[in-house]
Amino acid sequence: MSLTPEQQAEIEELRSQRRETRRTVAGGLEARLYEAIPVLDHGFVRVIDYMGDDAAIVQAARVSYGRGTRAVQNDAGLIRYLMRHWHSTPFEMCEIKLHVKLPVFVARQWIRHRTANVNEYSARYSILDREFYIPAPEHLAAQSTVNNQGRGATLEGEEAARVLDMLRADAGRAYDHYEAMLSQDGQQGLARELARMNLPANVYTQWYWKVDLHNLLHFLRLRADPHAQYEIRVYADAICDLVKDWVPATWGAFEDYRLNAVTLSSQAIDCIRRMIKGEKVSQEDSGMSKGEWREFEGVLNA
Amino acid sequence: MSLTPEQQAEIEELRSQRRETRRTVAGGLEARLYEAIPVLDHGFVRVIDYMGDDAAIVQAARVSYGRGTRAVQNDAGLIRYLMRHWHSTPFEMCEIKLHVKLPVFVARQWIRHRTANVNEYSARYSILDREFYIPAPEHLAAQSTVNNQGRGATLEGEEAARVLDMLRADAGRAYDHYEAMLSQDGQQGLARELARMNLPANVYTQWYWKVDLHNLLHFLRLRADPHAQYEIRVYADAICDLVKDWVPATWGAFEDYRLNAVTLSSQAIDCIRRMIKGEKVSQEDSGMSKGEWREFEGVLNA
Amino acid sequence: MSLTPEQQAEIEELRSQRRETRRTVAGGLEARLYEAIPVLDHGFVRVIDYMGDDAAIVQAARVSYGRGTRAVQNDAGLIRYLMRHWHSTPFEMCEIKLHVKLPVFVARQWIRHRTANVNEYSARYSILDREFYIPAPEHLAAQSTVNNQGRGATLEGEEAARVLDMLRADAGRAYDHYEAMLSQDGQQGLARELARMNLPANVYTQWYWKVDLHNLLHFLRLRADPHAQYEIRVYADAICDLVKDWVPATWGAFEDYRLNAVTLSSQAIDCIRRMIKGEKVSQEDSGMSKGEWREFEGVLNA
Amino acid sequence: MSLTPEQQAEIEELRSQRRETRRTVAGGLEARLYEAIPVLDHGFVRVIDYMGDDAAIVQAARVSYGRGTRAVQNDAGLIRYLMRHWHSTPFEMCEIKLHVKLPVFVARQWIRHRTANVNEYSARYSILDREFYIPAPEHLAAQSTVNNQGRGATLEGEEAARVLDMLRADAGRAYDHYEAMLSQDGQQGLARELARMNLPANVYTQWYWKVDLHNLLHFLRLRADPHAQYEIRVYADAICDLVKDWVPATWGAFEDYRLNAVTLSSQAIDCIRRMIKGEKVSQEDSGMSKGEWREFEGVLNA
CA distance C62 to C65: 5
What is the distance between the alpha carbons of residues C292 and C283, in angstroms, rounded to a whole number?
Answer: 9
pLDDT of C4:
86
CB contact (8 A) between residue B155 and residue C196: no
Asked whether D197 and D173 are in contact (CB, 8 A), the reply is no
Residues of B whose CB is below 8 A from C201: 104, 196-201
Q: Flag whether pLDDT at A91 surpasses 70.
A: yes
How much is the average pLDDT of B98-126?
95
Q: D55: distance to nearest CA of chain B, Å?
A: 21
CATH assignment at residue D117: 3.30.1360.170
How many folded domains does chain C comprise? 3
Residue C143 within a domain: yes
Bridge partners for A212 per DSSP: A95
pLDDT band for C148, please (50, 70, 90 cuts): confident
Residue C256 has pLDDT above 90, yes or no: yes
- Identify the residue with better confidence: A90 or C65: A90
Interface test with B, best of D113, D212, D265, D274 (most B CBs within 10 A): D265
Same domain, C32 and C115: yes
d(CA C101, CA C107): 9
Determine the residue among C73, C263, C292, C301 to mutate to test chain A binding: the one whose Cβ has the most chain A Cβ atoms within 10 Å.
C263
Shortest alpha-carbon distance between residue A127 and chain C (Å) = 31
The Cα–Cα gap between A2 and D123 comes to 29
Asked if pLDDT for residue A67 goes beyond 80, the answer is: no
- Least CB–CB distance from D24: residue in C49, C61, C69: C49
- Sort strands C204-212 and C95-103 into parallel, antiparallel or unpaired: antiparallel
- B202, B132 Cβ separation under 8 angstroms: yes
What ipTM is given for this predicted complex?
0.94
What is the model's pLDDT at position B149? 72
B22, B110: one domain: yes
**Residue contact A260–C272, C-beta within 8 A:** no
Burial of D65: CB neighbours in 10 Å, binned 0-12, 13-18, 19+:
buried
β-sheet with A95-103: strand ranges across: A37-39, A43-51, A95-103, A204-212, A117-120
Residue C27: closest C-alpha in chain D: D21
B252 and B191 together in one domain: no
SS3 for A197-258, per residue?
A: HHCECCEEEEEEEEEEHHHHHHHHHHHCCCCCCHHHHHHHHHHHHHHHHHCHHHHHHHHHHH
Do C15 and C40 lie in a common domain? yes
pLDDT band, very low/low/confident/very high, at B186 (cuts 50, 70, 90): low
Q: Which has the closest alpha carbon to B42: B101, B126, B117? A: B101
Rounded distance between C-alpha atoms, residue B94 and residue B53, angstroms: 7
Chain centroid to CA C130: 24
How confident is the model over D177-210, as pLDDT tens digits? 999 999 866 667 899 999 999 999 999 999 999 9
pLDDT score of A74: 86
pTM: 0.96
Nearest-CA distance D12 → chain C (Å):
11
Mean pLDDT, all residues of chain A: 93
The alpha-carbon gap from D224 to the nearest alpha carbon of chain C, in Å, equals: 25
Q: Which residue of B has its CA nearest to C170?
A: B174
Average pLDDT over residues D27-52: 97
Residue B281 has pLDDT above 90, yes or no: yes
Cβ(D153)–Cβ(A203) under 8 Å? no
- Torsions phi, psi of D227, nearest 5? -85, -10
Nearest to B61, CA basis, from B102, B93, B101, B35: B93
Q: Sorting pLDDT into bands at 50, 70 and 90, what band is A4?
A: confident
In this predicted structure, the answer to whether residue A90 has a pLDDT above a threshold of 70 is yes
B190:C155 CB<8 A: yes
Using DSSP, state whether D123 is helix, strand or coil. coil
Over residues A260-285, mean pLDDT: 95
What letter represents residue C72's amino acid?
Answer: V
Q: Please give the single-letter amino acid code of residue B240.
A: C
Judge if B162 and B226 occupy the same domain: no
Please check whether residue C255 lies inside any domain of the structure: yes
Checking if the pLDDT of D71 tops 80, the result is: no
Bridge partners (DSSP) listed for residue C272: none
pLDDT > 90: percent of chain D: 81
B36 SS3 class: coil
Label residue A72 by pLDDT band (50, 70, 90): low
Find chain D residues with C-beta within 8 A of A174's C-beta. Answer: 170, 174, 200
SS3 B43: strand
**Alpha-carbon span B172 to B152, nearest angstrom:** 28
Asked if C51 and D24 come within 8 Å (Cβ–Cβ), the reply is no
**Contact call for C63 and D206, based on CB within 8 A:** yes
Chain A to chain B Cβ contacts (< 8 Å):
158
* Nearest-by-Cβ selection for B192 from C143, C177, C181: C143
| pLDDT given for residue A70 in this prediction | 55
Considering the domain architecture, whether residues B180 and B231 belong to the same structural domain is answered as no
Nearest CA in chain C to B152: C191
Q: Does residue A34 fall inside a structural domain?
A: yes
Distance from CA of B135 to the nearest CA of A (A): 26
pLDDT (mean) for A99-123 = 96
Q: Which of D105, D190, D201 sits opposite A163 (nearest CB)?
A: D190
Where in the sequence is the domain holding A224, given as residue range(s)? 5-133+202-259
Which among A86, A264, A275 has CB closest to C264?
A264
Q: How confident is the model at residue B62 (pLDDT cuts 50, 70, 90)?
A: confident
pLDDT band at D64 (very low <50, low <70, confident <90, very high): confident
Q: What residue in A sits closest to C147 (Cα-Cα)?
A: A68
- Closest-CA residue in chain C for B201? C197
DSSP-derived secondary structure letter, D134 = -
Residues D220 and D89 in one domain: yes
Which residues in D lie closer than 8 A to residue C117 (C-beta atoms)? 89, 92-93, 212
DSSP H or E stretch at residue A262: strand A262-264
| Residues 6+ away with beta carbon under 8 Å from A58 | A75, A78, A79, A90
Q: Report in angstroms the alpha-carbon separations of C209 from B45, C45, D26.
A: 31, 10, 21
pLDDT number for residue C67: 54
| Of the candidate ranges A63-72, A85-94, B217-226, D184-193, the one whose mean pLDDT is the lowest | A63-72
Where among B170, B201, B232 does a domain terminate?
A: B201
- Of C175, C201, C227, which residue is a domain's last? C201
CB-based contact B50 A206, cutoff 8 Å: no
Q: How many contacts does A have with C, using Cβ atoms within 8 A?
A: 84
| Confidence grade of residue B205 (pLDDT, cut at 50, 70, 90) | very high
**pLDDT tens-digit map of A218-272:** 999 999 999 999 999 999 999 999 999 999 999 999 999 999 999 999 999 999 9
Is the Cβ pair A257, C269 closer than 8 Å? no
Of A230, C63, A99, A45, nearest to B64 by C-alpha is A99
Residues of chain A found within 8 Å of residue C276, distances taken between Cβ atoms:
272, 275-276, 300
Which residue in D has a C-alpha nearest to residue C115's C-alpha? D115
Q: How far is A107 from chain D (nearest CA, A)?
A: 9
Using a CB-CB cut-off of 8 Å, the residues of chain A touching C299 are 269
For the stretch C51-98, pLDDT in tens is 999 999 999 998 876 655 555 568 899 999 999 999 999 999 999 999
Contact (CB<8Å) D201/A202: no
At B130, the amino acid letter reads R
Q: Which of D64, D255, D256 to mutate to test the interface with B (most CBs of B within 10 A)?
A: D256
Q: Based on the domain organization, do B143 and B109 belong to the same domain?
A: no
Q: Is residue A33 predicted with pLDDT exceeding 70?
A: yes
Quote the CA–CA distance of C195 and A139 in Å, as a whole number. Answer: 68
**Closest residue, chain C, to D87 (C-alpha):** C119
Check CB contact under 8 Å for D25 and C20.
yes
Cβ-based neighbour number of residue A71 at 10 Å: 14
* A201 has pLDDT over 80: yes
Chains with 3 or more CB pairs closer than 8 angstroms to D? A, B, C
Q: Which residues of B are catalytic?
A: 223
Per-residue CA distances from D263 to C120, C139, D17, D83 (Å): 30, 55, 46, 15
* The residue type at A255: E
> Kind and range of the H or E element at B51?
strand B43-51
Give the pLDDT of residue B156.
Answer: 86
Of the candidates B112, B42, B196, B166, the residue with the CA atom closest to the CA atom of residue C195:
B166
Question: Do B300 and D86 lie within an 8 Å CB cutoff?
Answer: no
- Is the confidence at residue B3, as pLDDT, over 70? yes
pLDDT surpasses 90 at D260 = yes
Give which of C219, C269, C280 to mutate to test A binding, by max A Cβ within 10 Å: C269
Residue D186 distance to chain A (closest CA, Å)? 10
| Predicted pLDDT of residue C25 | 97
| Segment (H or E) for C171 | helix C157-182
pLDDT digits (tens, 9 = 90+) for D88-119: 999 999 999 999 999 999 999 999 999 999 99
- DSSP summary character for residue B227: T
Contact A122, D150 (CB under 8 A): no
Q: Closest by alpha carbon to A123, among A196, A54, A52, A187? A: A196
Taking the C-alpha atoms of residue B31 and residue B73, their distance in angstroms, rounded to an integer, is 29
- Residues B130 and B172: their CA atoms lie apart, in Å, by 8
Tell me which amino acid residue B127 is: I
- With a pLDDT cut of 70, the percent of chain D lying above it is 95
DSSP string, B108-170: HHHTT--SSEEEEPPTTTSPPPS-B----GGG-EEEPSS-TT-EEEEP-HHHHHHHHHHHHHH
CB atoms within 10 A of CB C285: 11
* Pairwise CB contact (< 8 Å): B51 & A56: no
User: Which is the catalytic residue, given A112, A223, A273, A294?
Assistant: A223
Same domain, C194 and C208: no
- CA dihedral over D155, D161, D162, D168, signed as positive or negative: positive
A40: left (phi over 0), alpha (psi -120 to 50) or beta: left
Contact call for A190 and D152, based on CB within 8 A: no
A217 vs A92, A252, A258, C95, C141, CA distance in Å? Answer: 10, 12, 9, 27, 37
Query: Which residue among the candidates C32, C80, C196, C223 is catalytic per the annotation?
Result: C223
Task: Answer yes or no: do C61 and C152 share one domain.
Answer: no
Verify that B74 and B33 share a domain, yes or no.
yes
pLDDT of residue C147: 73
Closest to B105 (Cα-Cα) out of C194, D64, C128, C190: C194
How close is the nearest chain A Cα to the Cα of B113, in Å?
15
Give the per-residue pLDDT at D147.
73
Instruction: Answer yes or no: do C135 and B182 touch at CB < 8 A.
Output: no
Residue A210 lies in a domain: yes
Q: Are A43 and A68 in contact (CB under 8 A)?
A: no
B190 to chain C: nearest residue by CA?
A: C142
- The helix/strand/coil state of D88 is coil
C194-231 pLDDT per residue, tens:
999 999 999 999 999 999 999 999 999 999 999 999 99
Cβ atoms of B132 and B143 closer than 8 Å: no
Show the DSSP H helices in chain A as ranges. 5-16, 27-30, 54-65, 75-84, 104-110, 157-182, 192-195, 213-223, 230-246, 248-254, 266-276, 290-300
pLDDT for residue A185: 63
CB contact under 8 A, A170 and D166: no
Region B170-182: mean pLDDT is 96
Q: What is the DSSP pairing of strand C43-51 with strand C95-103?
A: antiparallel
Minimum Cα–Cα distance from B151: chain C residue: C191
Given a cut of 60, whether residue A71 has pLDDT beyond it is no
- Measured between alpha carbons, how far is A40 from A134 in angstroms, rounded to an integer? 9
Residues of chain D in contact with residue C34, where contact means CB-CB under 8 angstroms, are 22
Q: Using the predicted structure, report yes or no on whether residue D70 has a pLDDT greater than 80.
A: no
Contact A219/A112 with Cβ under 8 angstroms? no
- Reduce the DSSP state of residue A298 to 3 states and report it: helix
- One domain for residues B255 and B126: yes
